[in-house]
Amino acid sequence: MSQINRIAGGLIDRQKTLEFQFDGKTYQGHPGDTLASALLANGVRLMGRSFKYHRPRGPLTAGSEEPNAIVALRAGARQEPNARATVAELYDGLTARSQNHIGRLSFDLLAVNDLLSPFFAAGFYYKTFMWPKAFWEKLYEPIIRRAAGLGSLSGQPDPDLYDKGFLHCDLLIIGAGPAGLAAALTAGRSGADVILADEDFVLGGRLNSETYRLDEATGADWARAAVAELASLPNVRLMARTTVLGAFDHGIYGALERVADHLPSPAAGTPRQILWRIYTKRSLLCAGAIERPIAFENNDRPGIMLGSALRSYANRWGAAVGQEVAIFTNNDEGHSTARDLLAKGLRIAAVIDSRADAPKSTAYEVLAGAVVTNTAGRLGLRSVTVGLPNGQSRRIDCQALGVSGGWNPNVHLTCHQRGRPSWDAGLAAFVPGANLPMGMSVAGAAMGQMSTTAALASGAAAAVACLADLGVSASLPKLPATEDSPLRLTPLFHVPGKGRAWLDQQNDVTVKDVKLAHQEGYISVEHLKRYTTLGMATDQGKTSNIGGLAVMAEMTGKSIPETGTTMFRPPYTPVSIAAFAGRASGVDFRPTRLTPSHHWAAEQGAVFVEVGMWLRAQWFPRAGETTWRQSVDREVLATRKSVGICDVTTLGKIDVQGTDAAEFLNRIYANAFGKLGVGKVRYGLMLREDGIAMDDGTTARLAEDHFVTTTTTANAVGVYRHLEFCRQCLWPDLDVQIISTTEAWAQYSIAGPNARKLLEKIVDPAFDISNAAFPYMGCGEITVCGGLRARLFRISFSGELAFELAVPTRYGDALMRRLVEDGREYDATVYGTEALGVMRIEKGHAAGNELNGTSTALNLGMGGMVSKKKDAIGSTLSEREGLNQPDALRLVGFRPVDPQHNFAAGSHLIGKDAEANAANDQGYLTSVAFSPSLGHSIGLGYLKNGAARTGEILRAVNPVQNAETLVEVVSAHFIDPEGERLRA
Amino acid sequence: MHSLAALTPLGGPLPKTEKIGTLTISEITNCALASVTLRRGKDQAFAVAAETLFATALPAPGVWQQAGVYGLIWMGPDQWFIEAPFASHEDIAQILKAGLGDSASVTEQTDGWVRFDVQGARVVDLLERLCPAPSRRMQTGAATRTLLEHMGCLVICRETAQHFSLLAPRSYAKSLAHALTAAARSIG
């Protein structure tokens, strides 16, 4: 079939022909076409099936507000469901399929729903599928989802890239119709930073769809000239194919630019779409208006569309919907449609004007005071039935019906911050209210300025006013003389009748459904929406909300403004989730932090684990090791036998300086820091204000006024933030300066009986690190490897003689290699976070599992650390009675009564013979590991009055895995309980 | 001279440079860095010492300023980052502390950060894909802390619309390089 409904004119390039497929059939169109315009030009009116009743549907509109012509675009991984054919730009090779039918589009098996429609009224699902309850998930829902619903995803990963971006401007103009272009010319010529964004691929809005002139120029030519001037101004950014989708806080707007949706695929490395965040000083909404339909029986047949859409298809795209056209209107605009289509050589069957005082015409028949009462044509309109004022009816043959029920200003973005529109009785429509988002003004049809002359003037005047606010002086441009006719509208929202008259074609909501909702008490607009689904789904009721409101108002006897409006929320049109994700997908979901020894560890085949954003080596498998346990056990045993090395750079390091640094730390930590000597390290426990343990770590005093505090890896940022808050807000009178140095130093733990021997090969001879000169909890600034500045701390969390050595990060890789090389004679072993964890559990050292946001110093067995001689954050509230009961949880150790048995962290502790229930809960296990040193599993856990229960036998109950193990309460310090090893 | 070889933040022996289209993205490692923070109540002494050391007053908020070998960058209330050539100022913290004495706290930051310089006529187009800072409006000398693909960064305009430095915590080097090269390809 060639383009049988292609007519003359339009903004399409007839020199080029594009081939595309719809439902497997090949058609032809031209550059400038949308999928909908090209299909109409090919005589295809049927483009989909409706959501609930599977009624045949064609486009209702020619824009982004389209409820009906919803298709699956493209194929394979790029398949995009629920795309609007009315805004899908045609390209060579485009493929599209109709949705929501079983079998052929023209013979949908699920159309049986339409015959069963009496059973599917509003609330049908709520009323019907209540019993039996168990059937809902397994039976009812899958069936309903199969029958209802729109398109489906391909199930394959999206092959395209999506970017995010950030723009700044003085004035964002939303919409490039007559008002937007006039505003942009005004603002652009003033030199202000202007962004002009429009969802269409051709700027100009309705100017491209109408036939009136601006001075001598056609609308399209005038728009093209305006755009050319704007493009020449360096201070103006033109953004076509860009939908401003939401007005957010502080003048920030979200916008989606469809960079490559009009191409078969994006160029390599470039994005399909960009989600822009636009920071504005002022914004001017020139979003135009959307024509609204009139509801009447069977008003949803393919071929019935808005009058403005008929004009757009004819004037902009050179496409007729049918050769014989009827018009149904309640205002003068229906007559403009008739004149335009006549000029295109189409036959006007009649203009059915609901107004008794309808204008007369010699060129076409006008049926004044008449309404359309019904239509016929199963897969496309064949005729309409007209109710005449004398009570008779008349059938009129036509393939297209243009419906003009007035215009709704596009107030959507004006309401994104809870603003409510106001009712304009003259227009019988909502216009922007007084409460607009910060910095927003509105002009043109969006403000209710319906004529082109008024739109141009209001756009220019609003731009001048916006810029005046910013101290920029702009002058009004000379505007062309053009159309300035009044709308002359007599409100008519629906034609009374017995059959189904569709208000919301996307959700199959009829006038009857709204009446039923009213009858059942769902009078509030919000309830009406949820009960009937009016205004939901991809079009968000752009063509239906006001009609629904009007019917509800009629039922309740209230006015439309009294009945209210539903909320408008972003996004204005649907946005793919991928655009919100941007580049944050797959391995790039978030940035990754690499340790200084990462490259070395990767060379060793280390297995890495995510710790926050860090990648840390978890263990280092060696040849012959088949399970992680073999690697971890080896690393632990080798460290305890001789020496092990571990990258601990990820622990937070905070440089604390100033004459009051010691006092600052004294207030931060529950234990005392004031008297810590220079060259000494102290373990510190910081509490939250409520007395619960917040974080722990060591603090080294490098000088009287200089400390380095370490935090746990997980809390590095939180502790730093806490310290900044304390410094700036709680004690601004203290002389203390803090800054993170976490990444500036590569830090390695060297632990084990031979740790000192290994270090003596690295540390320059000038520095004595013998036990006498550099005892446990000593620190100092030293040099290593022939003069490199370094820091050495004698601290241990493993129960071994241990040091931490820090060098500037760039030398971290070389230091790791040197330690491994020099450690060869001691069988030095590099260990990962698993072995680190095993050794700290063997030593009974609390870590994140124990500092779990509910534990106190007392619970941790560190109650004595909370100094009573000074005030520190949390020390007062740690004395709360409830936290100091005799049976308070205490951290103790556990071992299985039978060494062959294992148990799991998270298990609850229950008396040997007690029933396993919450009432008998004695505590829980926080950390469990297999101790290669002891040859059996060990655990740390919180037990009520645990310190006094050594030797008691309990059950570690794990209801999740339905397991339990007999355990004995022991000291938490399995290894080196007296500390001789670490002080060696 | 010690015997440990340095690695760049990207993990190579030498800094990397990548050209994509007209843009050049360079890993910069020849720059030493330290933070300088005014100590409480030492405003007068600090101002005098800083002016002696740098031959100029420290810059106002949002500003980077080159003063002889030193680059001076405002980082926060009463806090600045000082850049200097690594070859001559590897011990930058000691040098600055010697000059500022008790009027300031000085902390070595050289290896705390990775720095990439992006140069070329489309550098602003690239930055607009990554970072909310108003890079198109930033003039030579503008410096701001901002987010770049979830990473806290320092953005310095070395030359209006031509040359920017981006500093992020060193461990993010690979992710930041990936973000920059991806954006450079993205703008085509």
List chain B residues with CB under 8 Å of A807. Answer: 4
Q: Which domain-ending residue is among A538, A556, A574?
A: A556
**3-state SS, residue A20:** strand
A811 and B188: CB-CB below 8 Å? no
Question: CA–CA separation, A33 vs A91, rounded Å?
Answer: 9
Q: Which residues does residue A397 pair with via DSSP β-bridges, in sequence order?
A: A383
β-strands A95-98, A213-214: how paired?
A: unpaired
Q: Are residues A25 and A144 in the same domain?
A: yes
Number of domains in chain A: 5
d(CA A559, CA A338): 32
Identify from A708, A743, A764, A821 which residue to disrupt to test chain B contact, counting B C-beta atoms within 10 A and taking the largest count.
A743
Task: Return the pLDDT at A500.
Answer: 94
Kindly identify which residue of chain A lies nearest to residue B39, measuring between CA atoms. A735
Question: Shortest Cα distance from A133 to chain B (angstroms)?
Answer: 45
Q: How far is A687 from chain B (nearest CA, A)?
A: 27
Cβ distance of A810 and B6 shorter than 8 Å:
yes
**Whether the predicted pLDDT of B168 surpasses 70:** yes
Question: Is the pLDDT reported for residue A214 higher than 60?
Answer: yes
Q: What is the 3-state secondary structure (H, E, C) of A446-477?
A: HHCCCCHHHHHHHHHHHHHHHHHHCCCCCCCC
Is some CB atom of chain A closer than 8 A to the CB atom of B18? no
Which one of A598, A614, A788 has the shortest CB-CB distance to B2? Answer: A788
B185–A269 CB contact, under 8 Å: yes
A109-118, A231-240, A552-561: which has the highest mean pLDDT? A231-240
Who contacts A610 (Cβ-Cβ below 8 Å, separation ≥6)? none
Out of A165, A594, A807, the one facing B174 most closely (by C-beta) is A594
Angle between helical axes of A333-343 and A307-315 (0-180°, round to 10): 30
Could you tell me if residue A812 is left (phi over 0), alpha (psi between -120 and 50 degrees) or otherwise beta? alpha
**More confident call, A140 vs A292:** A292
Within A138-177, residue ranges assigned H as helices are 141-147
Put simply, the answer to whether B39 touches A735 (Cβ < 8 Å) is yes
Query: Chain A interface, mutation test: which of B92, B131, B149, B171, most A Cβ atoms within 10 Å?
Result: B171
- Give the residue on B whose Cα is nearest the Cα of A582: B149
CA A321/CA A310 separation, integer angstroms: 7
Q: Is residue A106, in this structure, part of any structural domain at all?
A: yes
H or E element, residue A334: helix A333-343
Element of type H or E holding A548? helix A545-556
Residue A499 has which token pair?
Answer: 């059959």
**DSSP state for residue A138 in the 8-state scheme:** I
| Strand-pair partners of A664 | none
Identify which of A367, A326, A320, A380 has the alpha carbon closest to the alpha carbon of residue A348.
A326
Kindly indicate the confidence band of residue A115, based on its pLDDT and cuts at 50, 70 and 90.
confident
Q: What is the pLDDT of residues B106-159, one digit of tens each?
A: 999 999 999 999 999 999 999 999 999 999 999 999 999 999 999 999 999 999
Per DSSP, the three-state class of A110 is helix
Asked if residue A60 belongs to a domain, the reply is yes
d(CA A18, CA A82): 23
CA distances from A955 to A90, A912, A934, A940 (A): 70, 6, 21, 14
Examine the domain organization and report whether A143 and A46 are in the same domain: yes
Of B7, B134, B182, the CB nearest to A583: B182
Residue A465: inside a domain, yes or no? yes
Q: Which of A163, A614, A814 sits opposite B186 (nearest CB)?
A: A163
Does A165 lie at the interface with B, CB-CB under 8 angstroms? yes
**What global pTM score does this model have?**
0.94
Query: 765-784 in A: which are within 8 Å (CB) of B?
Result: 783-784
Q: How confident is the model over A724-749, as a mean pLDDT?
A: 97
CATH number of residue A116's parent domain: 3.10.20.440
A353 and A211 fall within a common domain: no
CA distance A319 to A42: 8
A605 to chain B, closest Cα gap in Å: 17
Q: Is the pLDDT of residue A268 over 80?
A: yes
**How does DSSP assign A791-850, residue by residue?**
EEE---SSSS-EEEEEEEGGGHHHHHHHHHHHTGGGT-EE--HHHHHHHHHHHT---TTT
Q: Is B173 on the interface with A (CB under 8 A)?
A: yes
Out of 3.30.360.10, 3.30.70.2740, 3.30.1360.120, 2.30.40.10, the CATH code matching B17-29+112-186 is 3.30.1360.120
pLDDT tens-digit series, residues A230-252: 999 999 999 999 999 999 999 99
Q: A with B: how many residue pairs have Cβ under 8 Å apart?
A: 157
Residues A4 and A44 in one domain: yes
Where exactly are the structural domains of chain B?
Answer: 17-29+112-186, 31-110
Cα angle A785, A786, A792 (rounded to 5 degrees) comes to 55
Helices B92-100 and B43-54 pack at an angle, to 10 degrees, of 130
Tokens of A194: 């202007």
Does residue A1 surpass a pLDDT of 60?
Answer: no
Cα–Cα distance for residue pair A480/A262, rounded to 1 Å:
33
Task: Give the whole-angstrom CA distance, residue A967 versus residue A969.
Answer: 7
How does strand B31-38 pair with strand B79-85? antiparallel
Torsion of Cα atoms, A504 then A505 then A507 then A512, to 10° = 60
Helix (H) or strand (E) holding A968: strand A963-970
Q: Where are the beta strands (DSSP E) in A264-306?
A: 273-285, 289-291, 304-306
Residue A290 in contact with residue A543, Cβ under 8 Å? yes
Q: Tell me the residues of chain B between 39 and 98 that have a Cβ less than 8 Å away from chain A.
A: 39-41, 79, 91
Q: How far apart are CA B58 and CA B44, in angstroms?
A: 13
Task: Please state, in angstroms and rounded to a whole number, the distance separating the CA atoms of residues A175 and A187.
Answer: 14
Give B20-68 pLDDT, tens digit per residue.
999 999 999 999 999 999 999 999 999 999 999 999 999 999 999 999 9
* Average pLDDT, integer, range A5-33: 97
Please give the single-letter amino acid code of residue A449: Q
Bridge partner list, B35 = B81, B107
Q: Which of the residue ranges A86-95, A102-111, A477-486, A969-978 would you say has the lowest mean pLDDT? A: A102-111
Chain B residues with beta carbon closer than 8 angstroms to that of A170: none
> Where does a domain end: A743, A766, A798?
A743
- A423 burial class (0-12, 13-18, 19+ CB within 10 angstroms)? middle
Q: What is the CATH number of domain B31-110?
A: 3.30.70.1520
Pick the residue from chain B with its C-alpha nearest to A746: B111
Q: Are residues A368 and A276 in the same domain?
A: no
| Of residues A792, A804, A801, the one with CA closest to residue A640 | A801
CATH code of the domain in which A421 resides: 3.50.50.60
User: Chain B contacts of A274, Cβ < 8 Å?
Assistant: 129
Which residues of chain A are within 8 Å of residue B183 when distances are taken between CB atoms? 163
Contact (CB<8Å) B105/A737: yes
In this structure, are A115 and A188 located in the same domain? no
Look up residue A674 and give its amino acid: G
For residue A330, being part of any structural domain is answered with yes
Compute CA distances A569 → A248, A419, A575, A607, whole Å.
10, 11, 13, 46
Q: What is the pLDDT of residue A343?
A: 97
Provide the phi-psi class of A512: left if phi over 0, else alpha when psi is between -120 and 50, else beta. alpha
Q: Do B174 and A168 touch (CB under 8 A)?
A: no
Considering only CA atoms, which of A251, A410, A245, A400 is closest in space to residue A319?
A400
Contact A789/B91, CB-based, under 8 Å?
A: yes
Across the range A220-236, mean pLDDT stands at 98
Q: Given CB atoms, is A729 within the 8 Å cutoff of chain B?
A: no
Domain that holds residue A299: 293-405
> Same structural domain for residues A149 and A192?
no
Domain check: are A326 and A422 in the same one? no
Contact between residue A313 and residue A288 where contact means Cβ atoms under 8 Å apart: no
Same domain, residue pair A343 and A428: no
> In sequence order, what E strands does A632-720 have?
644-647, 652-657, 681-687, 693-703, 706-711
Q: What pLDDT shows up at residue A384?
A: 98
Residue A587 in contact with partner chain B when CB distance is under 8 A: no
Contact A60, A68 (CB under 8 A): yes
Is the pLDDT at A696 greater than 90? The verdict is yes
Q: Place A103 in a pLDDT band, splitting at 50, 70 and 90.
A: confident
Mean pLDDT (chain A) is 95
Asked if pLDDT for residue A361 goes beyond 70, the answer is yes
> CB count, 10 Å around CB of A18?
19
> Does residue A443 lie in a domain region?
yes
Q: Are A260 and A271 in contact (CB under 8 A)?
A: yes
pLDDT value at residue A53: 86
Residue of B109, B131, B149 lying closest to A744 (CB–CB): B109
Any A CB within 8 A of B112 CB: yes
Shortest CA distance from B111: residue in chain A: A744
| Residue A455 and residue A178 in contact, taking contact as beta carbons nearer than 8 Å | yes
Q: What is the H or E stretch that residue A551 is in?
A: helix A545-556
Do residue A100 and residue A70 come from a single domain? yes
> Is the CB of residue B5 less than 8 Å away from at least one CB of chain A?
yes
The answer, for A717 touching chain B at a CB cutoff of 8 Å, is no
Interface of A with B in 111-140 (CB under 8 A): none
Verify cis geometry, omega within 30 degrees of 0, for the bond prior to A178: no
Burial of residue A753 (number of CB atoms within 10 Å: 0-12, 13-18, 19+): middle
| Residue B146 distance to chain A (closest CA, Å) | 12
How would DSSP label each residue in B69-90?
Answer: TEEEEEEETTEEEEEEEHHHHT
- Cα–Cα distance measured from residue A619 to residue A607, given in angstroms and rounded to the nearest whole number: 6
Closest CA to A679 of A769, A584, A600, A755: A769
* A-chain residues near B45 (CB < 8 A): none
Enumerate residues 6+ apart whose C-beta is below 8 A from A399: A45, A303, A321, A322, A323, A324, A325, A380, A381, A382
Instruction: Give ipTM to 2 decimals.
Output: 0.98
* Same domain as A436, residue A401: no
Per-residue model confidence (pLDDT) at position B7: 97
Q: What is the DSSP code string of A857-880?
A: TTTTT-GGGS-SSS--TTTTGGG-
CB-CB under 8 Å, A810 with B111: yes
A847-903 pLDDT, tens per residue? 999 999 999 999 999 999 999 999 999 999 999 999 999 999 999 999 999 999 999
* CA pair distance A680, A597, nearest whole angstrom: 27
Q: List, in sequence order, every beta strand (DSSP E) within chain B.
A: 17-20, 23-28, 31-38, 64-67, 70-76, 79-85, 104-108, 113-119, 143-148, 151-159, 163-169
* Chain B residues whose beta carbon lies within 8 Å of the beta carbon of residue A785: 2-4
* Interchain CB contact of B134 with A (< 8 Å): yes
**Of the candidates B85, B90, B60, which has an alpha carbon nearest to the alpha carbon of residue B71?**
B85
Percent of chain A surpassing pLDDT 90: 90
Residue A807 located in a structural domain = no
Reported as a pLDDT band with limits 50, 70 and 90, residue A114 is: confident
- pLDDT value at residue A136: 66
Q: Which pLDDT value is given to residue A146?
A: 62
| Beta carbons of B118 and B24 less than 8 angstroms apart | yes
The verdict on A264 and A355 lying in the same domain is no
Alpha-carbon distance A529 to A547, whole Å? 12
CB-based contact, B35 to chain A, within 8 Å: yes
Could you read off the pLDDT of A44-55 as tens digits, one per residue?
A: 999 998 888 889
Q: Is residue A813 part of a domain?
A: no
Chain A contact present for B19, CB below 8 A = no
CA angle A301, A304, A306 (to 5 degrees): 140
Task: State mean pLDDT over A19-43.
Answer: 97
Contact criterion met (CB < 8 Å) for B149 and A591: yes
Residue A622's pLDDT band (boundaries 50, 70, 90)? Answer: very high
- Per-residue model confidence as pLDDT tens digits over A7-16: 999 999 999 9
**B111–A808 CB contact, under 8 Å:** yes
A593 in reach of chain B (CB within 8 A):
yes
Distance from first CA to last CA of chain A, Å, rounded? 93
CB contact under 8 A, B105 and A595: no
State whether residue B113 sits within 8 Å of chain A by CB. yes
In angstroms, rounded to a whole number, what is the distance separating the alpha carbons of residues A533 and A123?
9
Q: Answer whether residue A573 is part of any domain.
A: no
